[in-house]
Amino acid sequence: MVGVFWSLTAYAAQISFANDLREIPPVAVAIALLLAVIGGLAHTGQILAQVDYEVKSVPLAIFKDMSLSITAGLITFFVVGWLSWPSLLQAAAITIAGYSASRIMDAYVNRLIDVVNSKTPRGPVPPPDVSP
């Protein structure tokens, strides 16, 4: 099992991330989804294993956690790709985002609200207008 995940991580390290969504290799997205799900499953398993944790519906709890994990993992995949982090660090960040999905999503939403409220764009500066 470890060999499979190590192979996927090594493969992910060879993938270059593009600036356009259409140029992102589907296998890179698949690996990001897999890493997010692994992180999410680890967290969900840990929560469900707690003796004092009461669950009304196990399938619903799993669906909620996996949905959040996949969302947080994909957003992290795009953010760390945009930041040009090394691929192995990207893989770790995606897995951690899958594990801590609720906290990560809260941080992303808060940051997005701050940027929107400040009306100051953050990130790459668009090229100057060169109209004649």
Is pLDDT of 77 > 50? yes
Residue 61: the pLDDT is: 86
Q: Which amino acid is at 113?
A: I
Q: What backbone phi and psi angles, to 5 degrees, belong to 49? A: -80, -15
Is pLDDT of 7 > 80? no
Which of 78, 88, 92 lies closest to 39 in space, CA to CA?
A: 92
Q: Is 53 helix (H, G, I), strand (E, B) or coil?
A: coil
Residue 125: the pLDDT is: 57
Q: Which value, in Å, is the radius of gyration of the alpha carbons in the chain?
A: 18
Helices (H), the chain: 2-13, 26-48, 58-82, 87-99, 101-118
User: In degrees, to the nearest 5, what angle opens at C-alpha 76 toward C-alphas 75 and 81?
Assistant: 105
Q: Taking the complete model, does pTM exceed 0.95, yes or no?
A: no
